[in-house]
Chain A
């Protein structure tokens, strides 16, 4: 077991190049603490799987180093790294029984049958596969096959880390919950480092102590689920986390005031003057916006649509071309199509070229 450090890692599938566009993974530095539970979150094609494959050694990075504690293992082959990886679609050895499948990683490492058997039986019990232990793996359902894949990842006790590459994609929603809690339980029990790739935010947020959000080959934020929600460091994180995502709206910024479509709002911090040619935006979560009757002190907006999603309503409002989503529970005071939009200024963030800027608190 070890801390895993990625030092100046960059990867291009077409080989070394001067053009940053060629890189699927742009330069990144990151340390995975031993025993941590991490989620790697991002849209499809943002480099999550590339990053995993570099850690497990299936890919050799174009640039940079992978370290286990202080050892540089960039050139070590996968077999010697002692890492387990579970893929999106079940990979099973068709001609073997479930038992043989689970025992395979141990057998390849020369463990004795006496050592293997109790371990396989124990793990099969945890995964709920004990009934099928002596069935050919190819006759099982997709769910069970993926459990076998998971099992092969979990069978070795001494692994440095287990990498999950969207392993629950093919699983039924109900079973997903069950397996997710199983994994959490196993993580607590065995204390392996767990890196979990997903593009499902609920999965990431419930799973991990720390979430790494990736976007277009770069890491845009590393933080706890709360930090991602409360203080997105990049507009992408704002959009991606939360449902609906953060409202991001172009505006003009003057010290502690912003102008949104000609209406002034006073902020709780003072910002230094920024280059006016830059893209300046204000970001606020739908949960931090409230609606008031017209002519209250807020932005005059028109209600376009109300979606009732059960626990609360999502109201879509517009001021000229700009639209905002608001999470509201009670709309009884609203009459007519017009109302005032009130910002919670403690949760209002400013972004310059998509990156969060911090001002001086008043």
Chain B
């Protein structure tokens, strides 16, 4: 047996990373934890309340509603953007002048800042001056996102699809481009149908980029704030008050620091948990019978 050498100097090597992580994540997070277990009446006086804020929040209808709206929104966004992104990526040309044209027009929405996107759609959908709102009104369709929750949701969903489907498209396209020609040739030789090519070649080869696409789109849509804030301000009523909007209302509007801190932590844990679930499930797809032979 050779005794394992212990070298304490190694700790100095990890110190920079430790410091960076501490200042970028751990310390800010702990201040939030600090607020979440105290109450204040101003004057910088704090009282220990323990888990009260968490208990209140978990039982409050307001939180349930915001959470449900948030989950529904992310589910709808993923259900639309992922399949749509795959379909567009499949339809994009693989060579010729069409490639740069498609790539640039796909990348353009991604370059627009969130609040500008919100403003664009806010004006676009207005019934009095907006191109979309006015046209729909002229066609006799009752559309007004400031009064009708369905119209408000539709506007935000269409806006998000317009803004972010490109990201899924570009990721899938990169995945598709990395498939060697020999795979398609072999599929032809094997007599595979177009659907079989998608199912057995393209989809498995896109699995990794799709995982990234789902994670990014999930996290982003779950944290959406700026666009609905600009378009509807969370209304009409509370119909588009997603968790982030609710959080800001609570923290800055009502200055309820304690409950807001508790909500932030729950919000963070939910995102962490769901991302982990997505990651685990998607990286295990197609692995079930892998232990069959060896």
Q: Does B287 contact A (CB under 8 A)?
A: yes
Q: Whose C-beta in chain A lies nearest to the C-beta of B291?
A: A135
Known: A89-B180, A91-B183, A93-B200. A136 touches B292 (CB 8 A): yes
The smallest beta-carbon distance between A162 and chain B, in angstroms, is 10
Q: Is the CB of B292 within 8 A of A104?
A: no
The smallest beta-carbon distance between B7 and chain A, in angstroms, is 37
Q: Is the CB of A89 within 8 A of B182?
A: yes
B window 167-188: CB within 8 A of A: 180, 182-183, 185-186, 188
Q: Is the CB of B190 within 8 A of A104?
A: yes
A88 to B196, CA, bound (A): 23
Residues of A near any B CB (own CB < 8 A): 53, 56-58, 77-79, 83-85, 87-89, 91, 93-98, 104-105, 108-109, 131-136, 139, 149, 152-153
The smallest beta-carbon distance between A349 and chain B, in angstroms, is 40
B window 72-125: CB within 8 A of A: none
> Within 8 Å CB of A95, what residues of B?
200, 204, 286
The smallest beta-carbon distance between A65 and chain B, in angstroms, is 20
> A83-B189, A136-B286, A152-B190 given. 7 additional CB < 8 A pairs?
A58-B185, A58-B188, A77-B188, A91-B182, A94-B204, A132-B293, A135-B292
20 residue pairs A–B, Cβ–Cβ below 8 Å = A56-B189, A58-B188, A77-B188, A78-B188, A85-B185, A85-B186, A87-B185, A87-B186, A89-B180, A91-B182, A91-B185, A91-B186, A95-B204, A98-B293, A105-B190, A108-B191, A133-B293, A135-B293, A136-B286, A139-B290
Q: Name the residue among B191, B290, B294 with the largest chain A CB count within 10 angstroms.
A: B191
Known: A89-B180, A91-B182, A108-B192. A139 touches B294 (CB 8 A): yes
Q: Is the CB of A93 within 8 A of B201?
A: yes
Q: Whose C-beta in chain B lies nearest to the C-beta of A80?
A: B191
Interface SS majority for chain A: mixed
Q: Is the CB of A134 within 8 A of B189?
A: no
Q: Is the CB of B188 within 8 A of A79?
A: yes
> Within 8 Å CB of A88, what residues of B?
182
Known: A87-B182, A97-B289, A136-B289. A78 touches B200 (CB 8 A): no
Q: Is the CB of B185 within 8 A of A132?
A: no
> Within 8 Å CB of A132, what residues of B?
293-294
Q: Does B193 contact A (CB under 8 A)?
A: yes
Q: Is the CB of A135 within 8 A of B200?
A: no
A136 to B192, CA, bound (A): 19
Q: Is the CB of A79 within 8 A of B293?
A: no
B256-294 near A? 1/0 per residue, CB < 8 Å: 000000000000000000000000000000110110111
The smallest beta-carbon distance between B182 and chain A, in angstroms, is 5
The smallest beta-carbon distance between A88 and chain B, in angstroms, is 8
The smallest beta-carbon distance between A316 and chain B, in angstroms, is 41
The smallest beta-carbon distance between A136 and chain B, in angstroms, is 5
Q: Is the CB of A79 within 8 A of B200?
A: no
> Within 8 Å CB of A131, what residues of B?
293
> Within 8 Å CB of B182, what residues of A?
87-89, 91
> Within 8 Å CB of A53, what residues of B?
185
> Within 8 Å CB of A83, what residues of B?
189
